Chain A
Amino acid sequence: GENVEQHPSTLSVQEGDSAVIKCTYSDSASNYFPWYKQELGKRPQLIIDIRSNVGEKKDQRIAVTLNKTAKHFSLHITETQPEDSAVYFCAAMIQGAQKLVFGQGTRLTINP
C-alpha cells in the first residue's frame, strides 16, 4: 500500500522567514495530495491541495509543488506569522482507493 514520509518532524523559523516541509510517497498511482494544518487540540483542516495534473499551486502565502517523477511534494509558507505555528500533515490518495494516507506530521514553530 501507499506509504508517506514527511520531513522534518520539527521546524522552527523566525517570523517573516519561509518554511518548507517535504513529503515523499511510494505509490506512483497516487494522484491527490492535500495538506492539513492541526492546531493543538483541534481538528485537522485542509489548507491546500494539489492533483497530479499540475506541478504547482499557490494560495496567498502558501504554495505546494509536486514532482511526480521523483514522487515528492512540498509545502512552502512565505512571510511566516505566529499564527502559522501548528502541526502540518501531508497526505496522498491512490486513484481508485478511498483513503488518505498521512505523513507523520511536522511541528512548525514561528519565533517572534
Chain B
Amino acid sequence: NAGVMQNPRHLVRRRGQEARLRCSPMKGHSHVYWYRQLPEEGLKFMVYLQKENIIDESGMPKERFSAEFPKEGPSILRIQQVVRGDSAAYFCASSRDRGNTGELFFGEGSRLTVL
C-alpha cells in the first residue's frame, strides 16, 4: 500500500497564477481531507470530500479556492489567482471510514511558494 500520494511536493507560482495540488488517497480509502499549514503553525481544516461529493467545506476560503474528488482520479485542490498569503504546506489525508471511526493518514504535503 503506497500511502497517501501528493504531488507536486513543491510548487512555485507568481502572484495571479493558478495552483493545482493533487492527492491520491490510500488504496481502499474513500474519504479525503485537505489541511493547510502555515509556517510554524498548526493544521487548519479546509475541506472534506468523498467521491464526487463535498461533505464539509467550512474551512475553505470563500473565493479562489475549490476542491474536487472525481469518480476517477485524484482529489484536486485548486487555488486561483494566488497571493503571497497562500504560501503554505497543503496536506491531504485519507481515511477508510467516516469521521471518528478511523485514523487519518497524511500525505507528505505540497509546499506552495508564491513569489
Task: Give residues in A with beta carbon < 8 Å to B.
Answer: 1, 6, 31-32, 34, 36, 42-46, 49, 51, 89, 93-105
Contact = CB atoms under 8 A, between A and B. Distances in A.
B103 A101 contact: no
Interface of B: 31, 33, 35, 41-45, 48, 55-56, 58-59, 91, 98-100, 103-109
A94 B41 CA distance: 22
A93 B41 contact: no
A25 to B, nearest CB: 13
B104 to A, nearest CB: 6
Given A32-B100, A95-B100, A102-B44, 17 more contacts: A34-B103, A34-B104, A42-B108, A43-B91, A43-B106, A43-B107, A43-B109, A46-B104, A98-B48, A98-B56, A98-B98, A99-B33, A99-B45, A99-B48, A99-B58, A103-B42, A104-B41
